[in-house]
């Protein structure tokens, strides 16, 4: 297991941090994002997807649709589980081998390692972003 810590002072830095993470992940990786409402989970995802060629203005939290797919390289599945009690019947496991899977509110499911965990917490005016590999 390894852990790295980053600080993003504002939205632009959070987008840049997300973009820098794009090179770390590949198809078959599962990234679990936790943090309070408004902590910056979707902003981080927006930056990552921007680095993969997606217009950042087109990236929205899939809170109501639950899942959003992006035909990037690698293909990305972005899931937001805030409004569900558990992951049964959603079909996330269908994407684990073929997509980079980014999951917000992962406490609604059970996940088998290996996974990356990103914890975002408020720190002063900015955010502390912890990236942990299991």
Q: Express each pLDDT in 89-100 by its tens digit.
A: 889 999 999 999
| Pair 52, 99: CB distance under 8 Å | no
pTM passes above 0.75: yes
For the stretch 106-127, pLDDT in tens is: 998 888 878 999 999 999 999 9
| Predicted local distance difference test score (pLDDT) of residue 68 | 94
Query: Which domains, and CATH codes, for the chain?
Result: 2-133 (3.40.50.300)
| Predicted local distance difference test score (pLDDT) of residue 92 | 92
For the stretch 53-62, pLDDT in tens is: 999 888 887 7
> What token pair was written down for 100?
């980079």
For the stretch 4-41, pLDDT in tens is: 999 999 999 999 999 999 999 999 999 999 999 999 99
Which H helix or E strand runs over 123? strand 116-123
C-alpha 130/C-alpha 120 separation (Å) is: 7
| Pair 50, 26: CB distance under 8 Å | no
| Predicted local distance difference test score (pLDDT) of residue 85 | 87
State the DSSP string of 98-110. TSEEEEESGGGS-
| Pair 81, 104: CB distance under 8 Å | yes
Alpha helices by DSSP H, the chain: 11-21, 41-51
Strand residue runs (E) in 9-104: 30-35, 67-70, 76-80, 100-104
Residues paired with 4 in a beta bridge: 131
């Amino acid at each position: 297991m390894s852990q790295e810590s980053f600080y993003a002072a504002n939205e632009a830095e959070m987008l840049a941090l997300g973009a820098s993470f794009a090179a770390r992940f590949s198809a078959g990786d599962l990234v679990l994002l936790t943090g309070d409402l408004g902590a910056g989970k979707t902003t981080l995802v927006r930056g990552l997807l921007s680095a993969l060629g997606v217009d950042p203005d087109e990236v929205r939290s899939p809170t109501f649709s639950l899942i959003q797919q992006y035909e990037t390289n690698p293909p990305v599945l972005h899931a937001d589980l805030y409004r569900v009690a558990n992951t049964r019947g959603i079909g996330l496991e269908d994407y684990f081998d073929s997509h980079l899977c980014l999951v917000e509110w992962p406490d609604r499911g059970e996940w088998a390692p290996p996974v990356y965990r990103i914890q975002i917490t408020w720190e002063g005016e900015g955010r502390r972003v912890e990236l942990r590999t299991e």
